[in-house]
Amino acid sequence: MKVFHLSAECYPVAKVGGLADVVGALPKYQNMAGLQAAVVMPYYNRKFVQENVFDIVFQGATLLGTRRLYFEILKEQTDKLGFELYLVKIPGLLDREEIYSYPDETEQFIAFQLAFLDWISYSQQSPDIIHCHDHHSGLVPFLLQHSKLYTRLANITTIFTIHNGQYHGAFGWDKLSYLPEIDLTKTGLLDWAGGINPLATAVKCCWRYTAVSPTYLRELSISSNGLEYLFYIERAKGSGIINGIDTEVWNPEKDPMITSKFSIKQITKGKQANKEALCTRFSLAPELPLISFIGRLVVEKGADLLAAAMEQSINEHPGKVNFLILGAGDKETEIELLQLKAYYPEQCNVVIGYDEALAHLIYAGSDFLLMPSRVEPCGLNQLYALRYGTMPLVRSTGGLKDTVIDFGDEGGYGIRYDNTSVEDICEAVNRALVLFDNTKQLQALRKIMMTLDFSWDRSAAEYNDLYKSLNPII
């Protein structure tokens, strides 16, 4: 079964968040299970592209309105990621450094989708599945079925995975001319709330859609930035599949990015060595419980609550708790956190920025990982934390609810709380501090965490079952 994954991100080529981790791992595990999965993404002028060798496998031109765009499809020569990686390069549009935030983002991602479709159309390829991820490739299921240009491809099965339902990629009808000739009786499929909405279009036109956790699938019909009713009426097409983690990249026994590698047998010694390295680097006391946060500093992640919650906890437990934050995002939150660091230099430290290696060390060296998310489609951080014996302290939402069981419940290994509030976070921190003093119980729980299986094998098998249910003869 030949599968093309279409995505704006893919680790290690270009990553902003969990989407990259998923698209960088799922195809690898699908290939191990006997599929032929490949990734197609925009070309970004970044380290991975500069350091690896690519072949030009196709050259063509596509029309974006009246603009003729020449494009190239580049393939990484060695398949070193465990799958074929194709990059769509369009000079002046898809050859920049950043992944998002350009003013012509709409043009970028429409051009990406058109170039992909032109490529497979002109090179006579017939994949069995086109698996689109988030709104950046959300128009593909529509174009396959309702554009005369791609009639030959109209029967290809399309799957759409929602990693983040808050972002829709919506744009105005004035840009309809960017699309190739389409069946104008079908424009209603593009529409949501008076504009062209690629996320809504994908949900309407794909054969099946998935959300990255069963709880998030349900939450989409309660809160999805205006698409709630759509998710409600289309619910028969949806299913929830929890993400896995790439256990080759996230492996405390082999991780080159941490100070001291450790297995479950050396868990106490191993974690302590990483914690000491981390605390020395950030001027924190290694004997105190260390609670960390890694992620985008945005309201979705509850990052706006961090400074107030940390200040309250530090005041409630003077000299008894340390915090470490790694992230970037809303400027106001960044400033608040840096002010807190200046005020309490011995109890908290804050790194504003994106640092993959430091993230690994934080997962390995922290005692607890705080995730006060308002919305968390799946969440990978808690899964990485568990793999490194670090207890997740999470708000009960989306994938956090599906993957973290409170240690007070049967079979539990984490801390969960319900409300998006400073008080609830502080209460969860209080529970963490009490547990920290109960060394024996914490050690036993760490062992449970490290034996949990969130590998891709299980999740990849669920995607494969979904593909097969739609293509029973392959």
Task: Enumerate binding residues for ligand ADP (CB under 6 A).
Answer: 17-19, 21, 294-296, 326-328, 354-356, 359, 378-381
Cβ at position 358, least distance to ligand ADP in Å: 7
Instruction: Give 74 or 389: the residue with its C-beta nearer to ligand ADP.
Output: 389
Instruction: Give 17 or 226: the residue with its C-beta nearer to ligand ADP.
Output: 17
Instruction: Give 19 or 432: the residue with its C-beta nearer to ligand ADP.
Output: 19
Instruction: Give 118 or 304: the residue with its C-beta nearer to ligand ADP.
Output: 304
3-state helix, strand, coil in the chain (%, to 5): 45, 20, 35
**Segment holding 448, helix H or strand E:** helix 439-451
Cβ at position 283, least distance to ligand ADP in Å: 20
Cβ at position 425, least distance to ligand ADP in Å: 18
Whole-angstrom Cα distance, residue 112 to residue 406? 43
Token reading at 85: 């990686």
Instruction: Give 58 or 388: the residue with its C-beta nearer to ligand ADP.
Output: 388
Name which of 325, 345, 334 is nearest 283 in CA terms: 345
Instruction: Give 288 or 378: the residue with its C-beta nearer to ligand ADP.
Output: 378
Indicate the SS3 state at residue 60: strand
Cβ at position 391, least distance to ligand ADP in Å: 16
Cβ at position 294, least distance to ligand ADP in Å: 5
Cβ at position 311, least distance to ligand ADP in Å: 21
Token reading at 324: 């470490």
Instruction: Give 27 or 295: the residue with its C-beta nearer to ligand ADP.
Output: 295
Whole-angstrom Cα distance, residue 288 to residue 12? 34
Strand 322-329 vs strand 290-297: parallel, antiparallel, or unpaired? parallel
Instruction: Determine contact, residues 28/81, Cβ cutoff 8 Å.
Output: yes
- Residues, the chain: 474
Return phi, psi of residue 432, to 5°. Answer: -65, -40
Cβ at position 359, least distance to ligand ADP in Å: 4
Whole-angstrom Cα distance, residue 404 to residue 382? 8
Instruction: Give 101 or 185: the residue with its C-beta nearer to ligand ADP.
Output: 101
Cβ at position 379, least distance to ligand ADP in Å: 5
Whole-angstrom Cα distance, residue 160 to residue 225? 18
Instruction: Give 24 or 138: the residue with its C-beta nearer to ligand ADP.
Output: 24
Instruction: Give 147 or 366: the residue with its C-beta nearer to ligand ADP.
Output: 366
Instruction: Determine contact, residues 322/290, Cβ cutoff 8 Å.
Output: yes
Instruction: Determine contact, residues 282/349, Cβ cutoff 8 Å.
Output: yes
Cβ at position 21, least distance to ligand ADP in Å: 5
Closest CB to ligand ADP belongs to which residue?
18
What's the Cα-to-Cα distance from 418 to each of 215, 216, 424, 431, 435, rounded to whole Å? 14, 15, 7, 14, 19
Instruction: Give 162 or 426: the residue with its C-beta nearer to ligand ADP.
Output: 162
Instruction: Determine contact, residues 298/330, Cβ cutoff 8 Å.
Output: yes
CB atoms within 10 A of CB 179: 22
Query: CB neighbours of 388 closer than 8 A, spacing ≥ 6?
Result: 250, 252, 271, 363, 364, 450
Instruction: Give 149 or 391: the residue with its C-beta nearer to ligand ADP.
Output: 391
Query: CB neighbours of 281 closer than 8 A, spacing ≥ 6?
Result: none
Cβ at position 16, least distance to ligand ADP in Å: 7
Whole-angstrom Cα distance, residue 28 to residue 39? 10
Token reading at 258: 């941490």
CA 176 to chain centre: 29
Whole-angstrom Cα distance, residue 213 to residue 242? 4
Cβ at position 119, least distance to ligand ADP in Å: 28
Cβ at position 325, least distance to ligand ADP in Å: 9
Name which of 32, 31, 37, 5 is nearest 20 in CA terms: 5
